[in-house]
Structure 1
């Protein structure tokens, strides 16, 4: 079967996190010749497929079969893929069943690989992501079977197919500041401690502040305010407290302690509580790594485009490979409609993505 046929079948599964809707079983049957190991943890299904050709390096392809809910306003059924004007429309077509279809077909067609090819699939990337790829890698570590290199087929391109490889990701730190005051009548502000006024006095020093200037592959670590709330939505009572929520996508130049220190500096003297949580840490694959070099070569040969090395965007399961010391890159189709209404993918891009992965496998040695 051709890659577009496989993609079309995958798109029919209503695999909303963490339900795979039977997609894993379908993939297992399609990938005959590969040893299959199923891991189900707290309702999350994971599938590891492995085929050893020789004693050389272990190359792993990874991705997720789950999708976000479709939402309303689609021009067609989001789980009945349709082809129109060179595109396939369906939920998950870009993020990321196109990537999954491409590496499934490329691995299935491999015949002269000198090492081990494997595939890790999860049904929980769009959710919390803690019982998916991470658990699969723990399982492989216990067996002594961690891959030497990995490719995650997330949609990475921006304007043209082939224009970007992700070689790392920023970390993510979430924060909540609760400024405490003393509620009172708005007509007697001298009898109140107004936390909104306190916040106003320092807000410009905090909101949008860059903790560093960025580095070669990372943008600056910026404090981004995501929510502010306080009071009772009346005009004659001052608030008892004001809560500010924020996020920092941190580079390799700033960390949890830097965020904590700067927050404490700005809000020094206030009566407040601070909660910080590190969601993920930044990682970067060396640009001279074999996987980066070979991926660039494969993309240039198939697309004629020289890809930029990028670390933009949010988090992905690539971070878990980095956590286990596995050099990892991300490459996939153009990302312009992920999680959106009428999500679609260009058929030519899917076909070319398959060829890129096929080229990578064939020329890995």
Structure 2
């Protein structure tokens, strides 16, 4: 057993810039730490711009027969943006908080995972880390390719814990047991460009697009379930190629996102939107990208392990939630039961992103309790 301070390790990780898609030096930090703990580390980089290149890591430590417990997460971060009070990639501690891009989402969680496995005596089973460099982007060469790597080698975890920041007000108050699906769509309606004074010589597509938007905006998808809120369609953009006040545009476009529960499927929603659009204007085109399907982990051993460890460490009785954005659980659920649990998420993606120093250390202790019960 070894002692690793998760705050120190998180500081090292934050101080290596790794805007998505990430590769290289930030993986070196985790590689060095896990290799020293007896993990066999496999790293592979795939893809090209714009969705890559992306680095992934699978680290495995075996101690004979027994269950296979996997930690999963990502080392990439969103761009820092302007307006930070200091260098976003030079981690610092102020007023008991670790500040830097990735402190909350989710380098501190990965540091806590490493600290957790360092402090236990693994007597049985398998521990693994499934770490990607592209969760904040489209994940084209990220976690789905990790799953390919595992499947090619016949490796299948029995349960996976993702370290996304799920807590709301206090560490341990919320665990994500599922996630909504997400699909982005881009609508376009063609027309014929012309002068506004000669509308008979042009074909304005804006009216048709407006009718499509009105129809979709009024669309009722479902009423939700006991564990999922209602599916929701939101328009996120409108446009025409010309900004002149005296030109009828040759095309009108809109973009939308649907966050959907497990009553819906992404492909079916694309078909439904396409049918509505083309019923109004047969020339309408719909292009879509499904980020992931909704998933729900049924009650079982993983639930009990995570909830039990949180109660033992914090006294919290966590809410079991499916709210919020997507996570790579949408992919990993193909392998086994998946739960997301991590730090309070108030500052994720914000300027001066931060995490409480004591929360980071407490998270490492919670993770330690979990893995100790599985392989200790």
TM over 0.5: yes
Aligned-residue offset at 1:190? 6.0
1:124-143 aligned within 5 A: 124-143=134-153
1:320 to 307, 331, 336: 331
In the alignment, structure 1 residue 157 sits paired with structure 2 residue 162: no
In the alignment, structure 1 residue 219 sits paired with structure 2 residue 234: no
Aligned to 1:305: 316
- The farther-off stretch of 266-275 and 212-221 is 266-275
Does the 8 A contact of 1:211 with 1:258 survive in 2?
A: no
In the alignment, structure 1 residue 228 sits paired with structure 2 residue 238: yes
2:102 to 81, 92, 109: 92
| CA separation of 1:258 and 1:20: change in aligned 2, threshold 3 A | closer
In the alignment, structure 1 residue 38 sits paired with structure 2 residue 43: yes
Aligned to 2:64: 54
Aligned to 1:122: 132
2:117 to 85, 98, 107: 107
Deviations 1:251-274 (A, max 9, x none): 111222244224423551413222
Aligned to 1:279: 291
**Alignment partners' CA distance in 2, 1:162 and 1:97:** 18
Does the 8 A contact of 1:38 with 1:48 survive in 2?
A: yes
Aligned-residue offset at 1:228? 0.8
Alignment coverage as a number of residue pairs: 363
**Alignment partners' CA distance in 1, 2:223 and 2:323:** 15
- The farther-off stretch of 29-38 and 91-100 is 29-38
Does the 8 A contact of 2:292 with 2:331 survive in 1?
A: no
**Alignment partners' CA distance in 2, 1:120 and 1:200:** 45
1:145 to 140, 155, 176: 155
Aligned-residue offset at 1:29? 2.3
Aligned-residue offset at 1:240? 2.5
| CA separation of 1:35 and 1:262: change in aligned 2, threshold 3 A | closer
| SS of residue in 2 equivalent to 1:121 | strand
Does the 8 A contact of 1:260 with 1:276 survive in 2?
A: no
Aligned to 1:246: 256
**Alignment partners' CA distance in 1, 2:117 and 2:171:** 21
1:173-212 aligned within 5 A: 173-187=183-197, 189=199, 192-207=202-217, 209-212=219-222
Does the 8 A contact of 1:120 with 1:136 survive in 2?
A: yes
| SS of residue in 1 equivalent to 2:374 | coil
Aligned to 1:296: 307
Aligned-residue offset at 1:293? 1.7
**Alignment partners' CA distance in 1, 2:205 and 2:81:** 38
**Alignment partners' CA distance in 2, 1:351 and 1:217:** 31
Scaled by the length of structure 1, the TM-score of the pair is 0.92
- The farther-off stretch of 40-49 and 219-228 is 40-49
- The farther-off stretch of 258-267 and 157-166 is 258-267
Aligned to 1:172: 182
1:260 to 258, 267, 271: 271
| SS of residue in 2 equivalent to 1:213 | coil
Structure 2 residue ranges without an equivalent (≥5)? 48-52
| SS of residue in 2 equivalent to 1:93 | coil
Aligned-residue offset at 1:231? 5.3
| SS of residue in 2 equivalent to 1:351 | helix
Structure 1 residue ranges without an equivalent (≥5)? none
| CA separation of 1:24 and 1:241: change in aligned 2, threshold 3 A | closer
Aligned to 2:84: 74
| SS of residue in 1 equivalent to 2:253 | strand
Report the aligned-residue RMSD.
2.0
Deviations 1:32-86 (A, max 9, x none): 2112222222332222221112311100001111222222211111121111111
1:27 to 25, 30, 39: 30
| CA separation of 1:210 and 1:46: change in aligned 2, threshold 3 A | same
Deviations 1:163-200 (A, max 9, x none): 11111111122212212334444345566543222333
| SS of residue in 1 equivalent to 2:71 | strand
